[in-house]
Amino acid sequence: MNIISLLKRVSLKSSKLYIPSLIPNTHNFLRTQTPLVALPRKMSKESKKSSKYEYVKKFEGNDRLLPNCWMVIRIDGKGFHRFSEVHEFTKPNDVDALNLMNAVAENVMSDFTDIVLCYGQSDEYSFIFRPRTELYGRRSAKITTNIVSLFAASYVFKWKQFFPNKELKYPPSFDGRAVLYPTNETIRDYLSWRQVDCHINNLYNTVFWALVQQGNLSNHEAQQRLKGSVSGDKNEILFSEFNINYNNEPEQFKKGTTIVRKKVEIPLHCDAKQESSTENQPKTKIRTKITHLHCDIIRDDFWNENNIL
Ligand SMILES: Nc1nc2c(ncn2[C@@H]2O[C@H](COP(=O)(O)OP(=O)(O)OP(=O)(O)O)[C@@H](O)[C@H]2O)c(=O)[nH]1
Ligand SMILES: [Mg+2]
């Protein structure tokens, strides 16, 4: 007689003993159910009796996101203007702060395997899920809150790794939203929009802080100087007044960071080679590697090189 049948027999004799109708894992059941009078923390649906209050569940809305659409979860730091001041981030770009954001995004991507690409700049990150994902039944709030809370927790968790000599003064938080894009064209346009935003902000911030830090203008004066200027004017100010060629600024600042899963060929370990060392067998294996890029994602080249769409 197996242990489940034995327990069921005993249950008939003891009115206090609870045997769930579905016991998924005998080992866990035995471990968590001693002494045998204890009720499990969560009852199976079959054995749950609805209370008179259960009707309130019907007030919850159905937020299932449309199927077969690209799903984007974008998170954005709350009040990072202040957060970056309090934590004395380098202006206009703090490499450690940006790399912390990238490491956190990679952490989220590793945890949620249906994310095919992430794009980040400043205090924001977009996570792109494959259109056919069935994660959490495509429930918008469940997906968004899981991503945003893992992001915030990982940001705190990894802070010391990037700022070993800087105390985290208060807990950072992030907002999150889910947006659907129905076609390959619209998801590409979404990402182009974020990358153009990165370029516009970075060019503005680079000139603004050059005028303030090297040109000794006040914040207000720098703002007035740049009012109505187009990108050509800003490039000219940088070049003629500060000898800065914007094209030579780091790609990470100009383009933001794109994280993708790349298939890479890696050599087999020496011992593995010895075990099965025949001439015809491959000496390499294909692995997926999460890779950070600072490249143009607006042009076709990126999409032709990466098999994402
Ligand atoms: N110094 C510095 N500041 C940064 C850096 N990255 C982001 N920031 C700051 O973070 C802000 C992000 O912009 P927003 O998201 O529009 O501003 P916010 O204060 O976070 O406002 P909400 O998102 O509406 O809460 C920038 O304006 C900068 O002030 C950085 O690398 N260095
Ligand atoms: Mg923000």
Residues of the chain with pLDDT under 50: 1, 3-4, 6-36
| Residue 5 falls inside a structural domain | yes
36 in any annotated domain = yes
Sorted by sequence, the CB contacts under 8 Å of residue 76 that are 6+ apart come out as 123, 124, 174, 175, 176
Residues 225, 101 share a domain = yes
pLDDT of residue 43: 63
Q: In this structure, are 33 and 75 located in the same domain?
A: no
Q: Which residues surround ligand 2, an ion (CB under 5 A)?
A: 76-77, 80, 123
pLDDT value of residue 106? 98
Answer whether 78 contacts ligand 1 (Cβ < 6 A): yes
Instruction: Tell me the whole-structure pTM to 2 decimals.
Output: 0.83
- What pLDDT shows up at residue 264? 87
pLDDT at res. 276: 54
Q: Are 29 and 178 within one domain?
A: no
- Three-class SS state of 30: helix
The pLDDT value recorded for residue 268 is: 80
Q: What would the pLDDT profile of 91-136 be if each residue is shown by its tens digit?
A: 999 999 999 999 999 999 999 999 999 999 999 999 999 999 999 9
Shared domain for 155 and 22, answered yes or no, is no
Q: Write down the pLDDT at residue 165.
A: 97
Query: What is the per-residue pLDDT for 16?
Result: 37
Amino acid at position 122, single letter: S
* Atom of ligand 1 lying closest to residue 77 CA: 20
Distance, CA 288 to ligand 1 centroid (Å)?
A: 33
Q: How far is CA 26 from CA 10, 34, 183, in A?
A: 16, 13, 46
Domain residue limits at 34 = 1-40
Tell me whether residue 293 is in a domain. no
Q: Are residues 74 and 34 in the same domain?
A: no
Residue 38, pLDDT score = 56
Domain match, 133 and 236 both = yes
Residue 292 is encoded by which pair of tokens? 């950070």
> CA–CA separation, 181 vs 113, rounded Å?
19
Same domain, 23 and 140: no
Number of independent structural domains in the chain: 2
Which one-letter amino acid corresponds to residue 163?
A: F
Using the mean position of ligand 1's atoms as its centre, give its distance from the Cα of residue 256 in Å: 14
Residue at which a domain ends, from 254, 269, 302? 254
Cβ(181) to ligand 1 under 6 A?
no
Return the ligand number nearest the Cα of 208.
1
Residue 132 has, within 13 A of its CA and on its CB side, a CA count of 2
Q: Ligand 1 centre and the CA of 291: distance in Å?
A: 25
Note whether 34 and 169 are same-domain residues: no
Q: 168 and 239 in one domain?
A: yes
Among the bound ligands, name the one nearest to the CA of residue 79. Answer: 1
Q: Show which of 209, 237, 254 is a domain's final residue.
A: 254
- Nearest ligand to the CA atom of 96: 1
Strand order in the sheet with 115-121: 174-181, 70-77, 124-129, 115-121, 257-267, 284-293
CATH number for the domain that contains residue 213: 3.30.70.3000
Do residues 34 and 78 share a domain?
Answer: no
Residues 12 and 88 in one domain: no
